[in-house]
Structure 1
């Protein structure tokens, strides 16, 4: 890693095993939440995947003999900070932009990338409306929210849950998720009851669940709070012993969840974007990511790795000109850790989309919270 002394750890260049000057390297900008209030563990996993792929690209000779260099900027879950980072990275001459985990932040980054003519391959954000209008400059690896959350709704209905409560906070992302769930459930006789966490505390949530006879509560809220407090309250309320707690946005994926909640954090289904069995490439990358992270990699780490793998192949095939990169999205065909990645225009989605990465509904096994159980696939 080539780290100059001045920038903080969250804002650096790195990932290159070929020592070279900035002038001769191929630079790509990377966005990730690496400080609070961003989801730091997700950002660390995303960055680990990005950096591993950069190292492997450089070990294999780089981009036509030139090292690939990652220029990292911390978004801290702040849309304005992300937009400013895109402006700065564009001025420094990066060939393209990758990364970001939070959907609302990625939306701000995508808008600036589109306005500036900077190719952006979004790794993890799922919000359907990543840009207001169709754009040629942005592509995405993660499945659109409407796709993944419909699979989650199918899981709920298949498990016999058709009266669902959602604990929500104000956000374009949470509002979109609530709308998707309501549409999917209503079409099959289900009901969604909204619980506004701006007005209710966890104890009041429990009272509402009991009075509304909801059989499932979905956490459409920030982590760790109020999500952790809600889980603890519901788990220890005898009236709600049979209520399923769910977290479609994936909060239980990360170790921070298990550390905060212990046994209370198990048996909470969430969405994960991995196949049932990893390919040989996926297994090899998973082992390398485990060594890098000191533990099992999340699906977000695989998303980071696949992002750089795709972009590196585009740079080799089409060069460093930004317009040529953007024009090449429909010609991508790259083997990633979770299948062959290709982009297409998908109805209702404003960016070039991989349709679709594998989707699972999983939870932490109550008998062994470090182990995940696959409950449903789509």
Structure 2
């Protein structure tokens, strides 16, 4: 006989140790935990409490795939989380193979699965949407000689392709610099020789991102050049702590609306207290993940994974950043929230603790 008092378990993936981006993992988990606590205060799922079963991916795709196998064996009702795109892709493939519903919180690679996946959904905007918005920001600011200082990996390569495809029709040149073979000083030499007006750091944090920023900021030949970080590194307090004033005025992508509604504002206050710092967009993605899964399991039951996996198109949940629903988006392979907000922001040079919104968008259309 089924135990109607047993917890409904949600498997949770997050990077909690290096080389994973641990601050992102901490924010993601804080948002998820808050949403689950509030769902339990409201009665849980048919009187059963929700429980997160957390596994650290440490930015390792193989470790994530093994965790999915373990969590499926533990009988979790669904899978949630992850920040790193390549890791999330490995988790999504394994979850799809096992028939385990997976709501990916934050990873953005367009092709999250190689084939259409019935039970995989995602909250974050696809990379092509967000990075086209970033390219539009650059064009609108008058940049036509742009460099990317990039590391190896499918995420950076995909981002470079998106930028090039958006910039080239507008006559913008894109110079690619391989940080594996160039010192920060050599990158500065190349930027000067190319007469670049902007350099985008498509690299890991804190290294080599922090040394690159410092080198560019201290090179008098590059006074006035825009340093950008589309992947969102300046969102986190660690960036400001390591770089101080050098880390200000570095435009990055974040996935927040220009103004939060009442729910978002309340969640922001609570997460600020718990984290001891302003919650990043990843924390809001975590909360929304928990809220969506709680609503989905309440509406469609927690003991039939196939039923849950087929219910994504029926979701209508008020999240911290707007109403969340899912639809099929070409080339992603998953159910996608089409309304995910996208903005370009930076830290204010007058007060690096504050953010400035520089550009909003995300929809296809002419650069502005």
TM-score of the two chains, using structure 1 as the length reference: 0.94
Aligned to 1:139, what secondary structure does the other structure show? strand
Provide Cα deviations, 1:44-84, integer angstroms capped at 9, x if missing partner. 00000000011101111111100000000000011111010
User: How far apart, CA to CA, are the structure 2 residues paired with 1:356 and 1:215?
Assistant: 32
Match of 1:368 among 343, 351, 354: 351
What pairs up with 1:154-165 in 2 under 5 angstroms?
Answer: 154-165=136-147
Provide Cα deviations, 1:338-370, integer angstroms capped at 9, x if missing partner. 000010011222110000211110000001000
Match of 1:352 among 335, 338, 341: 335
Match of 1:308 among 277, 290, 294: 290
Aligned to 1:176, what secondary structure does the other structure show? helix
Provide Cα deviations, 1:15-58, integer angstroms capped at 9, x if missing partner. xxxxxx99701000000000000000000000000000111011
Deviating above 2 A after TM superposition, structure 1's stretches of 4 or more consecutive aligned residues are none
Match of 2:69 among 65, 81, 87: 87
Is 1:101 the counterpart of 2:101 in the alignment?
A: no
Residue number in structure 2 paired with 1:15: none
User: How far apart, CA to CA, are the structure 2 residues paired with 1:322 and 1:196?
Assistant: 44
Aligned to 2:328, what secondary structure does the other structure show? coil
Aligned to 2:170, what secondary structure does the other structure show? coil
Contact 2:80–2:103 at 8 Å: present in 1 too? yes
User: How far apart, CA to CA, are the structure 1 residues paired with 2:105 and 2:173?
Assistant: 32
- Following superposition, the deviation at residue 134 of structure 1 comes to 1.1
Match of 1:124 among 99, 103, 106: 106
Contact 2:132–2:162 at 8 Å: present in 1 too? yes
Unaligned runs of 5+ in 2: 362-368
Is 1:192 the counterpart of 2:144 in the alignment?
A: no
User: How far apart, CA to CA, are the structure 1 residues paired with 2:289 and 2:244?
Assistant: 33
Residue number in structure 1 paired with 2:199: 217
User: How far apart, CA to CA, are the structure 2 residues paired with 1:164 and 1:355?
Assistant: 29
TM-score of the two chains, using structure 2 as the length reference: 0.96
Contact 2:4–2:48 at 8 Å: present in 1 too? no
Contact 2:5–2:48 at 8 Å: present in 1 too? no
- Following superposition, the deviation at residue 295 of structure 1 comes to 1.3
Residue number in structure 1 paired with 2:270: 288
Provide Cα deviations, 1:95-115, integer angstroms capped at 9, x if missing partner. 000000000110110010011
- Following superposition, the deviation at residue 297 of structure 1 comes to 0.4
User: How far apart, CA to CA, are the structure 1 residues paired with 2:204 and 2:159?
Assistant: 14
Provide the aligned length of Structure 1 versus Structure 2.
Answer: 358
